Amino acid sequence: MLGAPNTYLTFTSKPSTCNKRSMKYLEIIIKLRKIIRSINLESKRIEKQYGISIPQLLVLQYLSEQLDYKASARDIKVYINLNASTVSGIINRLEHKSLVARLPKPNDKRVSFISLTAKGAEMLKDSPITLQEKLSRRLKNLSSNQINQLDAHIDLLIGLMDVSDIEAAPLLTIAEINQDG
């Protein structure tokens, strides 16, 4: 027997069906933790190396794809699927770092555009390839059947974790969406 007396799983020389199932459950949880950990590590790496968060990077990438490199705060909010106060904080931090600037709308001074600055565009030249971008490229290499199976299994997992009501942005760039559409 391995482990402390209070462990949940015990290992014997001849595992029972129950122990085999328990081990499979544990393997699934470990795989999920790997995914979560890799996302957290990437977030920390980008923050340390570039001084911005992944949502801030997404905003800069979004602005770089827009006509005249600008968009309204509302458009940004819709794109990254976060609430208005969170988007406002992201924009304020980017503005403080001189990566974006607020420009008043010519016909309506109450509305402003968020514009990518030269410094923000320069940062994007050196921006890293994110896990999401790598995954997106690799998913394109899967067959339709594989994509459908993966989608069904992820839906099952979302249901099992009871997280279906949590909102999440797709994190795809507009260019990627337009290429697929």
Q: What are the pLDDT digits (tens) for 18-73?
A: 788 788 889 999 999 999 899 889 989 999 988 999 889 989 999 999 999 999 99
CB 115 within 8 A of CB 101: yes
Alpha carbon separation from 36 to 42, 43, 119, 155 (Å, rounded): 10, 11, 31, 17
Quickly count: other Cβ atoms within 10 Å of residue 11's Cβ. 11
Beta bridge partners of residue 115, listed in sequence order: 70, 101
Taking every pair of Cα atoms in the chain, the longest distance, rounded to a whole number of angstroms, is 78
pLDDT computed for residue 174 by the predictor = 38
Output the pTM of the full model.
0.69
- Give pLDDT tens digits for 86-122: 999 999 999 999 999 999 878 877 788 999 999 999 9
Written as six digits, the tokens of 95 are 């503005």
Strands (E), 44-134: 70-72, 100-105, 108-116
Which residues, 6+ apart, have CB-to-CB distance to 169 below 8 Å? Answer: 58, 79, 80, 81, 82
